[in-house]
Amino acid sequence: MTKLVVAIGGNALQPAGESADPSAQRRRIEVTASRLTDLVAAGHDVVLTHGNGPQVGNILLQNEETRHLVPPMPLDVCGAESQALIGYLLEQALRNEFAARKINREVACVVKPIGPYYLRDDEILVKKAKGWKMAYDQRGGWRRIVPSPRPVDVIEKDIIRTLVGNGEGRLVIAAGGGGIPVIRKDGKLVGVEAVIDKDLAAAVLAKAIGWKHLVIATDVPQIALDFGKPSQRFLDHLTIAEAKKHLADGQFPPGSMGPKVEAVIEFLEHGGQHAVITDLEHLALAVAGQAGTQVGRA
Amino acid sequence: MTKLVVAIGGNALQPAGESADPSAQRRRIEVTASRLTDLVAAGHDVVLTHGNGPQVGNILLQNEETRHLVPPMPLDVCGAESQALIGYLLEQALRNEFAARKINREVACVVKPIGPYYLRDDEILVKKAKGWKMAYDQRGGWRRIVPSPRPVDVIEKDIIRTLVGNGEGRLVIAAGGGGIPVIRKDGKLVGVEAVIDKDLAAAVLAKAIGWKHLVIATDVPQIALDFGKPSQRFLDHLTIAEAKKHLADGQFPPGSMGPKVEAVIEFLEHGGQHAVITDLEHLALAVAGQAGTQVGRA
């Protein structure tokens, strides 16, 4: 009976290397919806956020490759489109899973306009966004890079709080893909071409609505030390102090476990009580304290 | 101080023949947001719905032209993407206009998952959706045609009612582009490749949340008889009986004023009290009864 902010990775929707075929994505999303429904069936309230990497990548590619036919939309608008794509399929799958299990709960998807905004280096980021920056990625060549600013707040926190309500048990999907990054400039909200880390966004979202429990679902069942080495060992428990030490020791690589651990530290140092990192398969067990890596303040 | 469901046409976002350039669309949306804010400033509660023709057309084109790179999404998913595209820009413009006028109101955009569903001819429609049907349009050649089923309900009416609340004055954007058409099949919600008329969707939306006033904003200030002929005359008032007679007489062409008048009749015959058809420029005056074509039950 806990209020849980749950962040699921893009691989819960379209695993790396798997087909972007709509029916394949739909099947994968149905499995994800089933695991999430386990939490709801156990009586928890859930606010759900999700990654959007493969989807927004596809939308950007579609925009770029047809620029002779249709003026391409900027990244913030493409991000909004990806939130709707995922949110629509997720909500439908959740409603169907609820119906199959005779769970009488509503699902609300406040898709795109959930935007964490940040106030640092505004001008610089806006200027950078005018032209694409490219960087070499050892995994496959040149890729577009965009700024990844730290989110500071969620614009629609009132809306999310209202939908979460008191006891109605609505499952709210929000801040998908990290939310759309917007800044305040001359008193106006302006979208910027940047990507917010979805786990940091989940931490800020939980803080904004005052929820104390954060669940990050990724593709490993637990956090490991010496990941991939013969000395690899999984962690059942972790404190903030230990997490910071392992981060400093380079145990959690950037772009992988690093941002997740950073998000959990951010969350626990700003009002959060407890966080757990696990994979979709162990979601319900991990929330019950019997799987995953449990992270506490001390 | 009235609760208004307002339907705005796609031309309020991207006028026919005008550029799909993001900055041009943004400027147009800012003008639309300003006219809508007039209603809010006058103290009305507003639930807003909108067309998506040009936008979903562009997304379909992007999907089709890049099918060698990215598996194309079906029409229901593309519709969801277009709702987020428009909803994001509209919400941002409304928030900025509210801030500029010191109006302390929230804007909620329950984008995509608002789907009216229909229960008629399910199997036939699903089969038709497997292959594209083409039809010749005298205005420009062959075009894809898709079924346009009548909406019967709005899945997320509970969510919309909750957001509308009591006195908080949130402006809720919902059922954009007519909503995503879904059917119930073997107890499951399934999206179909169809397009719902946005004005009929607005009528069903108003009924679903129990609101009594419907405003349809289009590109003419009033309904006309003998439109475009020397005998053309604009109508200040219209009853249901008169509207039905003019429809039967062919005064309101399909694909233009016809569906709007049908939506108004549908609305007034199912619980609605009053409707008005006008353009964006006359929106506030029309709601005050001083412009537009006022349509009453008798």
Contact between residue A45 and residue A3 where contact means Cβ atoms under 8 Å apart: yes
Q: Tens digits of per-residue pLDDT, B236-253?
A: 999 999 999 999 999 998
- Helix (H) or strand (E) holding B154, with range, is strand B153-154
Q: Which residues of A touch B85 (CB under 8 A)?
A: 73, 77, 80-81, 84
pLDDT at B202: 86
DSSP annotation of A12: G
Whether B87 sits inside 8 A of A110 (CB atoms) is no
pLDDT at A248: 95
Whether A110 sits inside 8 A of B112 (CB atoms) is no
Interface test with B, best of A25, A28, A60, A62 (most B CBs within 10 A): A62
Q: B15 in the Ramachandran plot: left (φ > 0), alpha (ψ -120 to 50) or beta?
A: beta
Q: List helix spans (H) across chain B.
A: 22-41, 53-65, 75-100, 122-128, 157-164, 198-209, 240-248, 257-269, 283-287
Catalytic residue check, B104: no
Q: Where are the beta strands (DSSP E) in A57-113?
A: 107-110
- In sequence order, which residues have a C-beta less than 8 Å from that of residue B289 and are 6 or more positions away? none
Whether B159 sits inside 8 A of A170 (CB atoms) is yes
The amino acid present at A150, given as its one-letter code, is: R
**Residue with the two structure tokens 């619980």:** B271
Q: How far is CA A32 from the centre of its chain?
A: 14
Tens digit of each residue's pLDDT, chain A (298 residues): 688 888 887 766 777 677 778 888 888 889 889 988 998 898 888 888 888 878 888 898 899 889 888 889 888 888 888 888 888 888 888 888 988 999 988 787 765 533 444 333 333 333 334 455 655 556 555 556 667 778 888 877 887 888 877 767 677 877 777 777 777 777 777 777 777 788 888 898 888 888 899 999 888 899 999 998 999 999 999 999 999 999 999 999 887 899 899 999 999 999 999 999 998 889 889 989 999 999 999 8
pLDDT at A213: 92
- pLDDT top residue among A86 and B292: B292
Taking the C-alpha atoms of residue A179 and residue A176, their distance in angstroms, rounded to an integer, is: 5
Mean pLDDT of chain B: 81
SS3 label, residue A207: helix
**What count of CB pairs under 8 Å joins A to B?**
171
- pLDDT top residue among A259 and B113: A259
Q: Average pLDDT for residues B104-118, to the nearest whole number?
A: 60
Q: Average pLDDT for residues B226-235, to the nearest whole number?
A: 94
pLDDT at B225: 96
Contact between residue B36 and residue B20 where contact means Cβ atoms under 8 Å apart: no
The confidence band for B162, taking pLDDT boundaries of 50, 70 and 90, is: confident
- In sequence order, which residues have a C-beta less than 8 Å from that of residue B79 and are 6 or more positions away? B52, B56, B112, B177, B180, B195
Picking from A193, A246, A195, A204, the residue whose alpha carbon sits closest to that of residue A223 is: A246
Q: How far is CA A56 from the centre of its chain?
A: 13
SS3 label, residue A24: helix
Q: Which residues of B touch A89 (CB under 8 A)?
A: 77
- In sequence order, which residues have a C-beta less than 8 Å from that of residue B87 and are 6 or more positions away? A80, A111, A112, A113, B109, B111, B173, B176
A182-185/A141-145 β-pairing: unpaired
Tokens of A16: 């790396």
Q: Where are the beta strands (DSSP E) in chain A?
A: 3-8, 45-50, 107-110, 116-117, 133-137, 141-145, 153-154, 171-174, 182-185, 188-191, 213-218, 224-225, 233-234, 237-239, 274-279, 293-296
What ipTM is given for this predicted complex? 0.73
Q: Which residues of B touch A106 (CB under 8 A)?
A: 156, 158-159
Picking from A255, A59, A35, the residue whose alpha carbon sits closest to that of residue A145 is: A255
Tokens of B229: 């002929």
Taking the C-alpha atoms of residue A152 and residue A165, their distance in angstroms, rounded to an integer, is: 23
- Helix (H) or strand (E) holding A257, with range, is helix A257-268
Assess A171–B contact: CB distance below 8 Å, yes or no.
Answer: no
**Residue with the two structure tokens 């939130």:** A83
SS3 label, residue A76: helix
Q: Tens digits of per-residue pLDDT, B253-270?
A: 887 899 899 999 999 999
Whether B22 sits inside 8 A of A73 (CB atoms) is yes
A293-296/B141-145 β-pairing: unpaired
Assess B13–A contact: CB distance below 8 Å, yes or no.
Answer: no
Taking the C-alpha atoms of residue A77 and residue B62, their distance in angstroms, rounded to an integer, is: 15
Q: Tens digits of per-residue pLDDT, B178-222?
A: 777 777 777 777 777 777 788 888 898 888 888 899 999 888 899
Picking from A122, A255, A129, the residue whose alpha carbon sits closest to that of residue A189 is: A122
Picking from A112, A117, A197, the residue whose alpha carbon sits closest to that of residue A154 is: A117
pLDDT at B252: 93
Whether B162 sits inside 8 A of A158 (CB atoms) is no
Assess A248–B contact: CB distance below 8 Å, yes or no.
Answer: no
Assess B114–A contact: CB distance below 8 Å, yes or no.
Answer: no
Handedness of CA B262, B265, B269, B275 (dihedral sign): positive
Catalytic residue check, B229: no
The confidence band for B11, taking pLDDT boundaries of 50, 70 and 90, is: low
Picking from B191, B45, B54, B188, the residue whose alpha carbon sits closest to that of residue B112 is: B191
